[in-house]
Amino acid sequence: MKIELNDRRLVIFTQLEKGASGEELAKKFGVSRTSVWKFVQKLEEAGYVLERRPKYRIVSKPDPSPFDMALALKKIPGLQNFYYFREVDSTNRFAKEVENSAVFAETQSAGRGRIGRKWESQRGGLYVSFSLNISIPVNEIPKLTLLAGVAVAKTLEDYEARIKWPNDVLINDKKVSGILSEFVGEELSARVIMGIGINVKNKIPGHLRDKAISLKEIDESVSITDIFVRLCTNLSELMKRYPSEWKSILGEWKRLSSTIGKHVVIEAGGRKYRGMAIDIDLDGGLIVRTEHGNEKIISGECFYTSY
Which pLDDT tens digit goes with each residue over 107-159?
998 766 655 566 667 899 999 999 987 877 778 888 999 999 999 999 999 99
Do 71 and 50 lie in a common domain? no
pLDDT at 164: 97
pLDDT at 138: 78
pLDDT at 103: 98
Domain count, the chain: 3
pLDDT at 47: 96
Do 235 and 283 lie in a common domain? no
pLDDT tens, position by position, 256-286: 999 999 999 999 888 999 999 999 999 999 9
pLDDT at 140: 83
Domain end: 10, 32, 60, which one? 60
Domain end: 28, 60, 92, which one? 60
**How do strand 162-164 and strand 168-171 relate by DSSP bridges?**
antiparallel
Question: Within the chain, which residues score under 50 in pLDDT?
Answer: none
Burial 65-96 (b: 16+ CB within 10 A, else e): bbbbbbbbbebbeebbbbbbbeebebbbbbbb
Do 85 and 227 lie in a common domain? yes
Do 112 and 219 lie in a common domain? yes
Domain end: 256, 273, 296, which one? 256
Do 131 and 39 lie in a common domain? no
Do 125 and 205 lie in a common domain? yes
Q: Please give the Cα distance from 58 to 75 (Å, whole number).
A: 23
**Parent domain of 278:** 263-304
pLDDT at 85: 96
pLDDT at 112: 66
